[in-house]
């Protein structure tokens, strides 16, 4: 499906954040299940609709969306014209506030994130150990001074708001990489974050005839962002190219995703999500179903795919089956509106 001009920027912002939360919420109940186990429980097509929480009847999202919302708060605190250093410092501060919600600590003063006033965010939804340990150190990881050697997908799954808020695509890539490096020190912990932010940015601000063209531009640009990590950037580009190649064929989704990996690490998570988007470019629901039904990190691959497709298609393409029971939907829409209004 070609990009259309009748989708407003706000609708793309809303689509990106709601789409990410929807993919996260679909994949969260099966995050640690095998593909075989998912099909045994939900049927031959796997999980295709929300497995709502039995107490609230809401579709609950995981730490992925929680951290994406705190990323958005950090961006808003910095402002659209901030320097890279200010962006990353404010995002780190927001992540420390997220850590308070995971440790059930009350807000410390009035200068913290407004998200600390949301009781539903004080919930542990399988938070990543790397994120927790890095933030508990109260040190801020940098690409040039990493805290660890983690290449887990916890860096990429939370940075889509950067692609919305920083309107220069190359700058968005740098800021997203820095935001991921706060907790994930391996190059494959932050290079995929740069790629995701670039793709989201081009979905919103670019003039492309297809999502495949957006991904192609990202592959071309990747090596130019990382002089010291050029090999990793080129490898990420090859994985995205492989995802696009598989998406153009007719092999079933589950088999193709098995080729790309399980998504526990950043590069695999992005490749799986991009594959699902390219394979089902005009069908938001089909993208989510493809992105979460596999052996690996289903909530993260679903969240990333939902971010991209929501930014590409806009909120209007996300049906009520994905929005009506989504946890904290109104809060997510408010943050999307705040981001768009501030740019």
Q: What is the structure's pLDDT at 43?
A: 97
**What would the pLDDT profile of 5-23 be if each residue is shown by its tens digit?**
789 999 999 999 999 999 9
- For range 56-83, the mean pLDDT: 97
- For range 98-124, the mean pLDDT: 84
Three-class secondary structure of residue 265 per DSSP: strand
Q: What is the structure's pLDDT at 325?
A: 97
Total residues found in the chain within this entry: 343
pLDDT above 70 as % of the chain:
97
Segment 90-99 long-range contacts (CB within 8 Å, at least 24 positions apart): 91/179, 91/182, 92/140, 92/182, 94/70, 95/67, 95/70, 95/71, 95/131, 95/135, 95/182, 95/183, 96/135, 96/138, 97/70, 97/73, 98/66, 98/67, 98/70, 98/135, 99/132, 99/135, 99/136
Tell me which residue of 219, 206, 335 sits closest to 270, measured CA to CA.
219
Q: How many CB atoms lie within 10 A of CB 231?
A: 11
Q: What is the structure's pLDDT at 10?
A: 98
Tell me which residue of 19, 23, 9, 32 sits closest to 294, measured CA to CA.
32
Tell me which residue of 98, 176, 175 sits closest to 134, measured CA to CA.
98
Looking at the domain covering 9-342, what would its CATH class be?
mainly alpha
**What would the pLDDT profile of 178-187 be if each residue is shown by its tens digit?**
999 999 999 9
CB-count exposure of residue 338 (10 Å: 0-12, 13-18, 19+): middle
Three-class secondary structure of residue 64 per DSSP: helix
Q: What is the structure's pLDDT at 183?
A: 98
Token code pair at residue 158: 């939370």
């Amino acid at each position: 499906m070609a990009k259309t001009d009748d989708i407003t920027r706000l609708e793309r912002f809303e689509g990106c954040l709601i789409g990410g939360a929807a993919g996260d919420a679909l994949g969260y109940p099966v995050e640690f299940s095998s593909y075989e186990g998912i099909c045994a429980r939900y049927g031959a097509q796997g999980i295709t609709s929300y497995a709502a929480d039995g107490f609230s009847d809401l579709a609950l999202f995981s730490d992925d969306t929680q951290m994406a919302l705190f990323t958005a708060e950090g961006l808003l605190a910095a402002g659209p014209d901030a320097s890279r250093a200010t962006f990353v410092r404010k995002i780190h501060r927001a992540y420390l506030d997220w850590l308070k919600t995971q440790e059930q600590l009350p807000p410390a003063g009035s200068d913290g994130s407004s998200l600390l006033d949301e009781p539903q965010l004080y919930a542990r939804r399988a938070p990543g150990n790397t994120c927790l340990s890095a933030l508990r150190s109260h040190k801020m990881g940098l690409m040039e001074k990493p805290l660890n050697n983690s290449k887990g997908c916890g860096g990429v799954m939370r940075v889509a708001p950067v692609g919305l808020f920083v309107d220069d695509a190359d700058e968005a890539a740098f800021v997203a990489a820095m935001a991921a490096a706060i907790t994930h020190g391996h190059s494959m912990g932050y290079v995929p974050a740069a790629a995701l932010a670039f793709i989201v940015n081009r979905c919103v601000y670019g003039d492309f005839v297809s999502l495949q063209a957006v991904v192609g531009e990202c592959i071309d640009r990747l090596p130019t962002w990382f002089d010291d990590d050029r090999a990793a950037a080129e490898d990420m580009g090859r994985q995205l190219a492989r995802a696009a190649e598989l998406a153009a064929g007719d092999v079933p989704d589950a088999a193709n995703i098995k080729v790309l990996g399980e998504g526990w690490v950043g590069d695999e998570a992005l490749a799986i999500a991009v594959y699902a988007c390219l394979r089902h470019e005009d069908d938001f629901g089909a993208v989510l179903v493809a992105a979460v039904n596999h052996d690996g990190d289903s909530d993260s691959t679903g969240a990333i795919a939902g971010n991209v497709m929501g930014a590409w298609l806009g909120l209007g393409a996300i049906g009520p089956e994905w929005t009506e029971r989504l946890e904290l939907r109104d809060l997510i829409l408010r943050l999307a509106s705040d981001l768009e209004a501030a740019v």
